[in-house]
Chain A
Amino acid sequence: MSVSRRTFLGGGLAAAAVAATGTPLLTACGASQNDVAAANRAVRLPTFTKYAGVTPDLPSDGVVLDGFLKYPANPVRAITEAPGNGRPITFLTNIPGAIPPAADRNQFWQALNERLGSELQISMASNDEYKDKFATRIAGGDLPDILNIPVDTAQIPGLVKAKCLDLSEHLSGDAVQKYPFLANIPTDFWKGCVFNGAIYGVPVPRGMSRTSLALYREDLLAAKGIKDPRPKNFEEFFDLAKELTAAKQNRWAWTRVPLSTIRQMLGVPNVWKENGGKFSSSYEDEANQEALESGRKMVAAGVVNPDAFNDKASARKQWFNGGIAAFDYDSFVAWNQYYADNTAGDAFAVNMLDVPGGTPWMGGALNNVTAFSKDSKHSPETLLKIANWMAAPFGTEEYLFRKYGVAGRHYTLQGTDPIPSKAGVVETGIGLQYISDAPLSLYWAGKPEVPRKQHAVQQKIAKQLVHDASYGLYSDTQSKKQAQLARTMTDLETQIIQGKKPVSDWARGVADWKAAGGDKMRSELEQALADTAGK
């Protein structure tokens, strides 16, 4: 029952929510779509001005992230004036972890309110339940001042038009300089905040930090005499996996079938590829047949943990941490997380394979767009000042407080590195990173080799990275149907690599996908690109 409810809520409810407001779903109408795209083209995106107050140990080049070997000593307090106006500000968000203690029992939250100069009232839901809560609150006309809009929300243009503030005059071009840490967010991330010819929100940037590749346990490979593995093709990659598998000893190479890695090796595009104005989906790429065949081989050879198909992230983490599996496909963020969860002792070391000659996929640009309610009693300036405060980057005192809390209670300093306490982990998890955030920096407290390795991998893949060509373009069909269609394709993929269906079924699956909405998405994206040509 919950599935049907969720399916219903996933697409229909958000649409119903907008419909209930009486606002026309403007971008869905063919006639007005050109006008909207043209208007989007006219939007001047905020001018990027990199914050110069902190110097990274491993500098960024625009694609590779800044790396820090230790937290800068005496971090500078970059914002002296409290951004709030003394009145409570409400915020609706998902939270990634367990529910934190409420404000009256949470010293971090209390200290935050003091620094902001306004009480921040946060209404939370877990990641999985957020969409239900979000859609219901919107439909009920019960909007907070600050709203976390996940990027896969259906029909965002209609929603923001009906309910949210147009921020263009405050952020467009050089106007953003008034908020120096929002100006520190690279221009590309702002593309995802433009709807109906206006800037409707503040981005919560991700991109490179979410780029996923094959993570491996360096210590386990070293024990087998393998140092710096560099498989150049699938055969070498497969041999490496076989070498690390000893099923009788309860050891497998992989936590899951590395289909994405194989696809990247074979040059399959990242979600959508654009060539001369024509779009093609990653599903349609011919190399998928070979990728599926290879995935099948790996499953048949038993190099993947046999429980891999139950698809639980925590199980994968346990296998990788416990040494049951040596490889996992995940992001730079997960890399750090593995160090946080480490139970294998000091020898524990993680590294990442690059994709020689292939097409590593750039991670999704945004986590969410943060919009401000039209009905808010606060001025847009106040809310933007709050967002600006939340985007103070690594190395500032604001960042140290935001991510780690108050010294003594939430973390202890080891040199200049903050080491979080248990209270710190629990109390700081109130979802602030979804109001706004600085682009991620590579850093792990007390382990300078972690950012070094991460930086090295990013430099290796930077030139090959391929982006999703649909980013910043709106397709109504994609917004409504993509989640459901993608699920069908993933199911088919799983059945094929498990050997339950032949590889030849993939072609039929792709044809069905096209008919069910894939072709429509393509034409909408092509149209959107044509309308914004030159942008």
Chain B
Amino acid sequence: MSRRIVQGVPMPSWPMRIFKGLVLLVFCAVVIVPFVGVLSTSVAPNKQINESGGLVLIPESIDFAAYRSLFAGGVVTQALLISIFVTVVGTLLSLTVSCLLAYALSRPEFVAGRPILLVVLFSMLFSPGIIPTYLVVKGVGLLDSIWALIVPTMVSAFNVVVLRAFFMNLPSELTESARMDGAGELKTFTYIVLPLSRAVLSVIGLFYAVAYWNAFFSALLYLNDSRLWPLQLVLRTYVINDTQLGSAELGTELLPPQASIQMAILVVSIVPILLVYPFLQRHFAKGVLTGAVKG
């Protein structure tokens, strides 16, 4: 029996296909089972979690108590709104500022381009440290302000370098012809460069968004008012304290974080980014590679 040929490639034999299928199935399981475990544990009854030792794959019954207790009291809901604000506004501002900087740095005729580029690169190699940054934030009056979560991390040198490389690789004929048609720098940038950069913008936007979404440390340092805390910092108080509650803590009736609440936290913190990712995925590889090949 001759083997079927699909698109010029002979199909493997049945045993081989079954074997390959099984291998793929195992890989899928390795990725999916932990997710299912997290999801199931977050809705499983506490008794079952205790009796199974911490992780449940198939819950006996479904109970959203963990999610209810997370969102009760308004702390997590408020934090979620703060996180969404910081992520959306922060990403937009970061993209704007980074694009402007990167575009200027990508123009060979820009006078102070090289020294400014060096300053940008320098910040990539040497970070200022926690206390100097704190003093600056305090000095400009950003303590206890939601802008302390955005302004200090608004420009990422790495992202600027990627953007600059991308802009440099755009065919110079395009910008030159725009100029010949009478467009100024801003018009060239807005109508020619940006529309051609959608791929890299999506990727850099995602980088910024993920960074803003996950950031907790600046909030810990700069925000004393817990009403302004973003989601990740609030959720960390549920998860991180876990390691210490064992022998150390007093309090009278403090409930420790239960496994179901911890798992619900994972779900709550992962889902938003998970929802955005598929829409940007098609740009992902293309966007980063285009910027990276030539510098």
A324 contacts partner chain B, Cβ-Cβ < 8 Å: yes
Q: Which residues of B contact A99 (CB under 8 A)?
A: 75, 226, 229, 233-234, 237
- A142 B47 Cβ-Cβ under 8 A: no
B73 within 8 A of A: yes
Binary contact track B257-285/A, C-beta < 8 Å → 1, others 0: 11100100000000000000000000000
C-alpha spacing A404/B252, complex, angstroms:
8
B220 to chain A, nearest CB (A): 5
CB within 8 Å of B: which A11-40 residues: 13, 16-17, 20
What are the interface flags for B10-26 relative to A under an 8 Å C-beta threshold, 1 for contact and 0 otherwise?
Answer: 00000000000000000
A126 cross-chain contacts in B, Cβ below 8 A? 236-237, 240-241
Q: A101-B75, A133-B220, A420-B252 are in contact. Are A331 and B247 (CB under 8 A)?
A: yes
A128/B244 in contact, CB under 8 A:
yes
Q: Is B250 an interface residue (CB 8 A)?
A: yes
> Which residues 217-263 in B have Cβ within 8 Å of A in the complex?
217, 220-221, 224-227, 229, 233-234, 236-238, 240-259, 262
Q: For the complex, give the distance between the alpha carbons of A423 and B251 in Å.
A: 15
- Contact: B227 with A102, CB < 8 Å? yes
CB-CB contacts below 8 Å: B134-161 with A: 134-135, 138, 143
Q: Does A97 contact B (CB under 8 A)?
A: yes
Say whether B50 contacts A104, CB under 8 Å: no
Please state if B54 and A424 are interface contacts (CB–CB under 8 Å): no
Report which of B249, B252, B256 forms a contact with A341, defined as CB distance below 8 A.
B256
Q: Which residues on B sit within 8 Å (CB–CB) of A312?
A: 242-243
Chain A residues with Cβ under 8 A from B184's Cβ?
none
Chain A residue nearest in CB terms to B133: A136
- Establish whether residues B131 and A101, one from each chain, have CB atoms under 8 Å apart when the complex forms: no
Question: A340 contacts which of B47, B243, B253 (Cβ < 8 Å)?
Answer: B253
Q: What 1/0 flags go to A351-364 for Cβ under 8 Å of B? A: 00000000000000
Instruction: Assess whether A127 is in contact with B252, with CB atoms less than 8 Å apart.
Output: no
Please state if A140 and B242 are interface contacts (CB–CB under 8 Å).
Answer: no
Q: What CA separation (Å) do A437 and B251 show in the bound complex?
A: 10
Residues of chain A contacted by B236 (CB below 8 angstroms): 126, 129
Chain B residues near A136 (CB-CB < 8 A)? 130-131, 134, 221
Using Cβ atoms and an 8 Å threshold, which residues of chain A touch B234?
98-99
Partner pick for A128 among B54, B229, B240, B253, CB 8 A cutoff: B240
Q: A313 contacts which chain B residues (CB < 8 A)? A: 242-247, 256
Instruction: Determine if A263 is an interface residue (Cβ-Cβ < 8 Å).
Output: no
List chain A residues, Cβ under 8 A from B69: 422
Contact between B54 and A129, CB atoms less than 8 A apart: no
| Closest residue on chain B to residue A339 by CB atoms | B253
B182 at the interface (CB under 8 A from A): no
Q: Which residues of A contact B245 (CB under 8 A)?
A: 96-97, 313-314, 337
Point out the residue from A20, A132, A331, A424 that lies within 8 Å of B253, measured CB to CB: A424
CA distance A404 to B245 in the complex (A): 19
Q: Which of B51, B131, B244, B255 contacts A323 (CB 8 A)?
A: B51
Q: Which A residues are in CB contact (< 8 Å) with B47?
A: 322, 343-344
**Is A128 in contact with B241, judged by CB distance below 8 angstroms?**
yes
Known contacts A127-B240, A314-B262, A330-B247; is A101 also within 8 Å of B73 by CB? yes
- A97 interface neighbour in B50, B53, B74, B237, Cβ under 8 Å: B237
Chief secondary structure at chain B's binding surface: helix
Contact A105 B247 (CB under 8 A): no
CA gap between A9 and B69 in the complex, in Å: 33
CB distance from A155 to the nearest CB of B (A): 16
Do B227 and A98 touch (CB < 8 A)? no
Question: B53 contacts A210, CB within 8 Å?
Answer: no
> Chain A CB within 10 Å — which of B242, B246, B249, B255 has the most?
B246
Interface residues of B in 13-55 (CB under 8 A from A): 46-47, 49-54
The CA of A140 and the CA of B144, in the complex, are separated in Å by 14
The answer on a CB contact under 8 Å between A334 and B251 is: no
> How many A residues are at the interface, by size bracket?
35 or more
Question: Shortest Cβ distance from A127 into chain B, in angstroms?
Answer: 4
Q: Is A41 an interface residue (CB 8 A)?
A: no
| Residue among A101, A125, A209 making CB contact with B250, cutoff 8 Å | A209
Q: Which residue of B lies closest to A314 (CB)?
A: B242
Q: Is the Cβ of A426 less than 8 Å from the Cβ of B50?
A: no
CA distance in complex: A123, B233 (Å): 14
Complex formed: what's the CA distance from A198 to B141 in Å? 36
Interface flags for A173-217 (1: CB within 8 Å of B; 0: not) read: 000000000000000000000000000000000100110100000
Nearest A residue to B130 via CB reads A136
Chain B residues, CB < 8 A from A440:
250
Q: Is the CB of A337 within 8 A of B75?
A: no
* Pairwise interchain contact A210-B248, C-beta atoms closer than 8 A: yes
Chain A residues with Cβ below 8 Å from B225 are 102, 123
- The verdict on A330 contacting B246 (CB below 8 Å), with A140-B138, A314-B259, A426-B73 known, is yes
In chain B, residues 94-140, which have Cβ atoms closer than 8 Å to a Cβ of chain A?
130-131, 134-135, 138
A327 to chain B, nearest CB (A): 14
| Assembled-state Cα–Cα distance A208/B254 (Å) | 20
Q: Does B62 contact A (CB under 8 A)?
A: no
CB distance from A269 to the nearest CB of B (A): 19
B72 sits at the interface (CB 8 A)? yes
Asked if A429 and B250 make an inter-chain contact with CB atoms under 8 angstroms apart, the answer reads no
Residues of B within 8 A of A307 (CB): 53
Question: 6 closest Cβ contacts across the A-B interface?
Answer: A322-B50, A313-B246, A123-B224, A102-B227, A322-B51, A128-B240
Q: List 28 A-B contacts (CB under 8 A).
A: A20-B131, A96-B249, A96-B251, A97-B237, A97-B245, A97-B255, A97-B256, A98-B75, A98-B238, A100-B75, A100-B226, A128-B240, A139-B134, A140-B131, A140-B135, A142-B143, A210-B248, A313-B247, A317-B246, A318-B53, A331-B247, A334-B246, A367-B250, A404-B252, A420-B253, A424-B253, A426-B72, A429-B251
Residues of A within 8 A of B (CB): 5, 9, 13, 16-17, 20, 92, 95-102, 104-105, 121, 123-129, 132-133, 136, 139-140, 142, 206, 209-210, 212, 250, 307, 311-319, 321-324, 330-331, 333-334, 336-337, 340-341, 343-344, 367, 403-404, 420, 422-429, 433, 437, 440
A126-B241, A429-B254 given. 4 additional CB < 8 A pairs? A126-B236, A140-B138, A210-B248, A337-B245
* B interface with A by C-beta (< 8 Å): 46-47, 49-54, 69, 72-75, 130-131, 134-135, 138, 143, 217, 220-221, 224-227, 229, 233-234, 236-238, 240-259, 262
